């Protein structure tokens, strides 16, 4: 079975209540249920967690070495400035996919820059919950075709 680690960054625990016009009305629990449903269909094991602090995200990325074959990560606001998360993704040498619910390129200018995207295989942004689901399909393809 393929093993994929899904990491949600800060403030995503507030989904459902937080700016629904930007992020949609799904709660994080509903998004995680969708991820788990698709993972089951794809015969994939997923581990999912959400963290508000940068250090916890770093620990979660480091721990991927022991288990995951691919990381699907929404670093949320840290996307735009966390060199530490960028370095952690690079350090673990696992393929990573950057996810955003909203289209960060169509929003405020400070959101256009991602310091984490360059160390990811690619970025999926703007499709709401489907961004995560597309991320799982991408992870499956990466593991199937590129995993050594």
Strands lying side by side in the sheet with 70-74: 44-50, 2-8, 70-74, 96-100, 122-125
Instruction: Choose one: 30-38, 40-48, 71-79, 134-142; the region binding ligand DQA (CB under 6 A).
Output: 71-79
As a dihedral over the C-alpha atoms of residue 72, residue 61, residue 101, residue 18, rounded to 10 degrees, the angle is 150
Smallest gap from Cβ 86 to ligand DQA, in A, equals: 15
Phi, psi angles (nearest 5°) of residue 46: -125, 145
Q: Pick the catalytic residue: 8, 26, 51, 100?
A: 100
* Active-site residue flag, 100: yes
* Active-site residue flag, 23: yes
96-100 and 2-8 strand pairing = unpaired
Which of 45, 89, 42 is CA-nearest to residue 65? 89
Q: Does 77 participate in binding ligand DQA (rule CB under 6 A)? A: yes
Smallest gap from Cβ 146 to ligand DQA, in A, equals: 25
Nearer to ligand DQA, 69 or 102 (CB): 102
Q: Does 117 participate in binding ligand DQA (rule CB under 6 A)? A: no
Say how far residue 91 (Cα) sits from the centre of its chain: 17
Residues marked active site are found at 23, 100
Contacting positions for ligand DQA (CB under 6 A)? 11, 74, 76-77, 79, 100-102, 104, 111
């Amino acid at each position: 079975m393929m093993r994929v680690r899904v990491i949600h960054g800060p403030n995503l625990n507030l989904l459902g209540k937080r700016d629904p016009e930007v992020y949609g009305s799904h709660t994080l629990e509903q998004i995680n249920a969708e991820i788990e449903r698709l993972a089951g269909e794809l015969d994939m094991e997923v581990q999912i967690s959400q963290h508000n602090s940068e250090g916890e995200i770093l620990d979660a990325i480091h721990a991927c070495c022991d288990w995951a074959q691919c990381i699907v990560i929404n670093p949320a606001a840290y996307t735009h400035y966390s060199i530490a998360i960028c370095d952690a993704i690079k350090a673990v040498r696992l393929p990573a996919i950057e996810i955003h619910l909203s289209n960060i390129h169509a929003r405020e200018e400070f959101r256009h820059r991602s310091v984490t995207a360059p160390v990811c295989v690619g970025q999926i942004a703007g499709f709401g919950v489907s961004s995560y689901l597309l991320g799982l399909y991408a992870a499956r393809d990466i593991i199937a075709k590129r995993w050594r």
